[in-house]
Amino acid sequence: MSSYISDAISTQKVAIYIRVSTAMQIDKDSLQVQKRELTAYSEMVLGIKDYVIFEDPGYSAKNTDRPDYQRMMERLRTGEFSHLLVWKIDRISRNLLDFAQMYAELKRLGVAFVSKNEQFDTSSAIGEAMLKIILVFAELERNMTSERVTAVMLSRANNGQWNGGRVPYGYKWDKEAKEFSLIESEAKIVRTIYDMYEEYQSLAYICRWLNENNYPTKNGKEWSITTIHKILTNPFYNGSYLYNVYKDGKAVSKRKPDDWIVFEDHHIAIVTVERFDRIQFLLKRNRRGGVPETESYVRKNIHIFAGITKCGVCGALMSATLDKRRADGWRPSIYGCSRRRKNSSVCSNKYVSDAALGPFVFNYVANIIRVKNSGKKYSPETLGKKLLQGTAFFSVDHIGASGLEQLSDLLARGESGLEYKPSYIVEETDAKVSEYEMLREKHRKLQTAMNRLQTVFLYNEAETPPTEFILEREKITSEMSAIEKRMTELGGEAFGDKITDESFLKKASYFIMVEKLLDAKNIDYEKYIRGIDEQVPRNFILSIIERIDVTDGCVSAITFKNGMKHEFFYKEQ
């Protein structure tokens, strides 16, 4: 090292730079060890006792954006130092371009660069060449390490495991249980923010109100519009975990949505998915150049069986996310055990896709409806065979006896346990539509009463006097006429040209769904689901099914809303 030590040793001064990443502040690479070794090296080897230590604990070498490094460079440019001493060259940077620029500047300033561990002399051509070779391999190692880390992080995210980072306001992370839980006092404020935006639709007003009423933030500072906007737009609050959204880990440039890793029902939600989507629509509409006020928002990525699919091994909820896009463009939902994704040793259950779950559930429901509509009585054995007709049940051996007995009892009473009335067909929120439906139901009852009256008059052996029959008939006819008149008045307003596109699509989707369930011998689930509004079959399934158990990628049981449970036993492979 003596070849580059100046003769004017008394005027020389060393800048000692120390950096360790957070994960490496232990053992021989710790700050204390570096500081002790480098000060001794300056005094004993370089023979310079005048030095200044600059240190950046917990900073990455990915770039040179570090506070003490920048202060050191500013002082180097003033000519204060003759040497820059480091533990290893990667303490400065692992980026070849950054280091090359720094080293070129040191040469212009006449500052010698010294690395204690690499032991090279930059005053010679060989030493400088060795430095460049070391830098090339240092950057190669960094890039390879980065690729390995990225692969591990993506794998963890695909299994629904949290990769760390800042915990959103309203939540806390349990390191032992490896799951999120609510900080109820903060969650209450989050709900208030969502409530206020739906009512006032002003970020500035919410910000001012929270600060004036002294609601606390995570760090004790005042609320800002940016913070409120982040809370309103972060899907974490509806229970979703998103990863691989941004390029280079910076929230600036987004990747294509197909590259995102999305886990729904990942943790306890503070707001519902529907409410979150509604807020996104309002935020977009309130932006300058946003959507027209007449446009309604559309819920995306509807997972038809989300919230009711349970792990048949451990009983945990199966979280929903999107599977990879198929060759024909379809991206089915995929459901995985929420406990397994946190710890693979806890549960061994497999994932199940809509491609397997959908055909099974919808064809099974369709078979129940067909059996009921046939009006025939079947033995439990024959009933089981009827319910398992279709390619979706090829590997099923039989249905549990208890479920078949329950269904037989229902069918004997003319029921199936699958009665369903869609809200947008029967109970429209519009008051006029509600009145129309109420009148139609009353008209139907009066028509039934009229039919019974005529039957009694014609076949009753007690010979009811004609005058009583005529008076009763006139009374019913008068009521029916009044109802028909009012229905005519309401008809144009309730069901005429003012019907929205969204309402029309839902009604059309409902009738398509009914037609498929009643008529198709075997429902092609993918073709069927891609041709209608997915919210319609989801509403239908949620209205009749309480729970679907999945074991090893197959439906092991379906529990209906009326308590009826059908268990499925499979053939030995």
In the chain, the amino acid numbered 377 is K
- Whether residue 417 contacts residue 561, with contact meaning beta carbons closer than 8 Å, is answered with yes
In the chain, the amino acid numbered 35 is K
| CA gap 25, 68 in Å, rounded | 17
H/E stretch holding 224 reads none
- Whether residue 210 contacts residue 189, with contact meaning beta carbons closer than 8 Å, is answered with yes
Predicted pLDDT of residue 59:
77
Distance of CA 484 to the CA centre of its chain: 49
Predicted pLDDT of residue 503:
46
Residues in the chain where the model's pLDDT stays below 70: 1-10, 21-29, 61-62, 94-97, 119-128, 130-132, 134-164, 243-262, 288-301, 342-343, 414-437, 454-470, 487-521, 531, 573
pLDDT digits (tens, 9 = 90+) for 252-296: 466 666 666 667 777 888 988 888 888 888 888 777 555 454 444
| CA gap 546, 565 in Å, rounded | 9
Count of Cβ atoms closer than 10 Å to residue 270 Cβ: 26
| CA gap 219, 169 in Å, rounded | 10
Tokens matching residue 5: 């030590």
For the chain, the residue count is 573
Burial 415-451, CB ≥16 within 10 A → b, else e = ebbbeeebebeeebeeeebeebbebeeebeebeebbe
| Burial status of residue 160 (CB atoms within 10 A of its CB: 0-12, 13-18, 19 or more) | buried
H/E stretch holding 286 reads helix 273-286
| CA gap 310, 470 in Å, rounded | 61
Tokens matching residue 516: 């498929």
Predicted pLDDT of residue 64:
76
| CA gap 89, 318 in Å, rounded | 49
Backbone φ/ψ region at 178: left (φ over 0), alpha (ψ -120 to 50), beta: left
SS3 call for 550: strand
* Sign of the CA dihedral running 307, 153, 329, 254: positive
| CA gap 381, 159 in Å, rounded | 41
- Of the candidates 392, 397, 396, which has an alpha carbon nearest to the alpha carbon of residue 358? 392
| CA gap 317, 208 in Å, rounded | 40
In the chain, the amino acid numbered 233 is T
Predicted pLDDT of residue 1:
41
| Cα distance between the two ends of the chain | 73
Contacts of 188 (CB under 8 A, 6+ apart): none
Predicted pLDDT of residue 520:
55
Predicted pLDDT of residue 120:
64
Q: CA separation (Å) from 38 to 4, 14, 80, 443?
A: 17, 10, 19, 96
SS3 call for 66: coil
pLDDT digits (tens, 9 = 90+) for 101-111: 788 788 889 89
Contacts of 353 (CB under 8 A, 6+ apart): 323, 332, 333, 334, 335
